[in-house]
Amino acid sequence: MRSYPIPFNDAARLEALRSLPGLNDIAEPVFDLLTDAVRQLFDCPIAHISLVEEKHQWFKSVVGIELPEIPRDQSFCTHAIMSDDLMVIPDFTKDPRFVDHPLVANEPNVRFYAGAPIILSSGFRVGSLCALDLVPHAAPSEASLNILRTLANAVAAALERELPDAARQADEISGGRKEFLALIRHELLTPLTVIFGYTGLLEARLVDAPEGVMARAARRSCQHLRELIETVIAFSDVSTGDLALNQSHEDLRQVLDEALEILGPGLDGKAKTVRITQFSVPDPVYIDRSQIKLALTALIENAALHGGDHLDLSAQISPEGHIEISITDDGQLGAEVDLDALYRPFVVGGSLNTRKVGGLGLGLPLTRKIVELHGGELDVIAEDASTLALIRLPAWRANFTPD
| Backbone φ and ψ of 132, nearest 5° | -135, 150
* CA–CA gap between residue 274 and residue 265 (Å, rounded): 12
Predicted local distance difference test score (pLDDT) of residue 358: 43
Which residues are bridge partners to 161 per DSSP? Answer: none
Is the separation of the CB atoms in 42 and 51 below 8 Å?
Answer: no
Predicted local distance difference test score (pLDDT) of residue 185: 62
Which residues are bridge partners to 316 per DSSP? Answer: 324
Three-class HEC string of the chain? CCCCCCCCCHHHHHHHHHCCCCCCCCCCHHHHHHHHHHHHHCCCCEEEEEEECCCEEEEEEEECCCCCEEEHHHCCHHHHCCCCCCEEECCHHHCCCCCCCHHHHCCCCCCEEEEEEEECCCCCEEEEEEEEECCCCCCCCHHHHHHHHHHHHHHHHHHCCCCCCHHHHHHHHHHHHHHHHHHHHHHHHHHHHHHHHHHHHHHHHCCCCCHHHHHHHHHHHHHHHHHHHHHHHHHEECCCCEECCCCEEECHHHHHHHHHHHHHHHHHHCCCEEEEEEECCCCCEEECHHHHHHHHHHHHHHHHHHCCCEEEEEEEECCCCCEEEEEEECCCCCCCCCCCHHHCCCCCCCCCCCCCCCCCCCHHHHHHHHHHHCCCEEEEEECCCCEEEEEEECHHHHCCCCC
* CA–CA gap between residue 169 and residue 165 (Å, rounded): 6
Is the separation of the CB atoms in 114 and 86 below 8 Å?
Answer: yes
Task: List, in order, residues 6 or more apart from 262 with CB less than 8 Å away.
Answer: 217, 220, 221, 224, 297
Each residue's pLDDT, cut to its tens digit, for the chain (403 residues) gives: 777 899 988 989 999 999 888 677 665 788 999 999 999 999 999 999 999 999 999 999 999 988 778 999 999 999 999 999 999 999 999 999 999 999 999 999 999 999 999 999 889 999 999 999 999 999 999 999 999 999 999 999 999 875 445 454 555 445 555 565 665 666 666 777 777 777 778 888 887 787 777 787 777 777 767 766 766 665 555 456 677 888 999 999 999 998 888 776 556 555 578 889 999 998 899 999 988 998 998 888 888 777 788 899 999 999 999 999 999 988 766 555 555 656 555 444 444 333 444 444 557 888 888 999 999 999 988 877 888 899 999 999 998 877 6
Predicted local distance difference test score (pLDDT) of residue 335: 54
Sheet holding 87-89, edge to edge: 69-71, 56-63, 46-52, 125-133, 112-119, 87-89
Predicted local distance difference test score (pLDDT) of residue 355: 40
Predicted local distance difference test score (pLDDT) of residue 132: 98
Three-class HEC string of 333-394? CCCCCCCCHHHCCCCCCCCCCCCCCCCCCCHHHHHHHHHHHCCCEEEEEECCCCEEEEEEEC
The Cβ-side half-sphere exposure at 119, using a 13 Å CA radius, reads 21
List C-alpha distances in Å: 363 to 75, 300, 342, 346: 30, 10, 9, 9
Task: List, in order, residues 6 or more apart from 59 with CB less than 8 Å away.
Answer: 48, 49, 50, 51, 67, 68, 69
